[in-house]
Chain A
């Protein structure tokens, strides 16, 4: 029995050590640096909480939080609506089911960065040329060029790419719903709309929860999309928190300052995830 225990220890200890060195230790360093004025090189001093105070006074940081949340919430909602609709469609008694499923999953295997470059071209060159040809003035300007609307462009591209994965999760959920439940409902004469809300949705609620949490978490980390589409502009209109930490941390020589920003971001994500899980799980129980 002893050797068994030793074997189990040997299986885990190296992993724990490595995980500590490459994940936990940098995390602790990040927290430590957040209390310093370090530039990433050279000397530094402890400056207490002043980085944290400054983040709250920093319009660029507040703007990044505003954009990131707006983007993440809208994208999460849209992705879930579209993926649920597509999943319901794919789960229906349709022709070419396998092929269609394969097509709708396709965007998920593509690199976000490259898809972003392609969409950048669509917004900047294709749509203006297309609308000029059709004489539609409304589309003639590149929406990525407008501080008020550039975020919509980022949402469109993100939703295009991310719907695929959530569709597959919903589809998996729908396939766990036994066929006879529907048949019973059909005999009762319930309308399709009612059937969905009264029967299907409660049964796939756990998948709804996990999809909402996963999507929101991924979108709060948004980075590749921004780099490919707008680079954070115009102005700072589409600069996400990840992009700001990357840019500011390296480019501005604000290693310590952006570490403080990252700690705040960390706390926000943890709090949000907990609230979201609680809220959605309560709903599941109630239904």
Chain B
């Protein structure tokens, strides 16, 4: 029995999307206008599409430098987080009956309750003194800080994988490392995808950690660059919005291509 489509709800939801699209429409619209057009109604379409704003923004903010910084950070963080955090979680999950590992689990997970500001001040000093107030330090910190949450979700997932699968491999004399990479890691791929997406969104969009950790302006990531250039954009909103749009665009493009996969995996993370 196929029920009739609920058109009332459909139309309500479609009207609701206007609220989502409105700020984005405004952003694109203003990014394409000239400063002179700002006195006219802001919602009207630009008289003529002015792509010069984008070129100016790219030059002024050194966009490609920031893009590559953001990309390097996000990519390294995602890959290394998935590889290391799953490994740690595997060791913990398979030894939860031992006091030591159980203690570790609670050690990592309880850190989720620690608000970042309390470690911020000492951390800033510590990383700077260790010469880590740069992209490498930033990558490092993201991977370490992600452990809390990731151990929590990975351990839950690994526990649901039957130990029997590994026992066969142990009989064949495979080492724990080999078992992890050959048997467990492939089985984790749904969870890896979830962790990768959440980590990527976090590392790409985060502003606070780059703000306090990075020293050299050359290292600035995309959100940080928008902040740094606020005063130079001044009231040239067209330039500012072109710059915002450029900064938002990479993620929007990735999302357009992979939205099904992204939402599917975020949903899976929620059900677990």
Contacts and interface: CB of A to CB of B under 8 A. Distances in A.
B117 A246 contact: yes
Contacts of B248: 110-111, 114
Nearest to B226: A114
Tell me whether chain B's interface is mostly helix, strand or loop, or mixed.
Answer: helix
A94 B5 contact: yes
Nearest to A272: B113
Interface in B216-272: 222-223, 226-227, 230, 237, 240-241, 244, 247-248, 251-252, 255, 259-260, 262-263, 266-268, 270-271
Given A169-B270, A262-B121, A103 B126 contact: no
B131 interface: no
A22 B140 contact: yes
A29 B26 contact: no
A223 B170 CA distance: 49
Given A22-B141, A23-B119, A129-B42, A11 B87 contact: yes
Interface residues of A, number: 88
Contacts of A57: none
A172 B6 contact: no
A64 to B, nearest CB: 11
A113 B226 contact: yes
Contact of A30 (B7, B13, B122): B122
A40 B244 CA distance: 34
Interface residues of B, number: 88
B108 interface: yes
B147 interface: yes
Contacts, number: 247
A200 to B, nearest CB: 15
Contact of A227 (B26, B141, B207): B207
Interface string B73-107: 00000000000100110111011000001001001
A125 interface: yes
Which one of A4, A22, A176, A255 has the highest number of Cβ atoms from chain B below 10 Å of its Cβ? A22
B144 interface: yes
A245 interface: yes
B123 A26 contact: yes
A95 B114 CA distance: 43
B186 interface: no
A95 B14 CA distance: 10
A255 B227 contact: no
B270 A263 contact: no
Interface string A152-189: 00000000100001001101110110000000000000
22 contacts: A11-B180, A19-B108, A22-B140, A26-B123, A26-B126, A40-B125, A89-B12, A100-B13, A100-B14, A102-B259, A105-B262, A105-B266, A113-B227, A118-B244, A121-B241, A224-B208, A245-B117, A249-B117, A250-B121, A258-B121, A259-B121, A262-B115
3 nearest A-B residue pairs (beta carbon): A7-B176, A262-B118, A29-B122
Interface of B: 3-7, 9-10, 12-14, 16-17, 19-21, 23, 26-27, 30, 41-43, 84, 87-88, 90-92, 94-95, 101, 104, 107-108, 111, 113-123, 125-127, 140-141, 144-145, 147, 170, 175-177, 180, 201, 204-205, 207-208, 212, 222-223, 226-227, 230, 237, 240-241, 244, 247-248, 251-252, 255, 259-260, 262-263, 266-268, 270-271
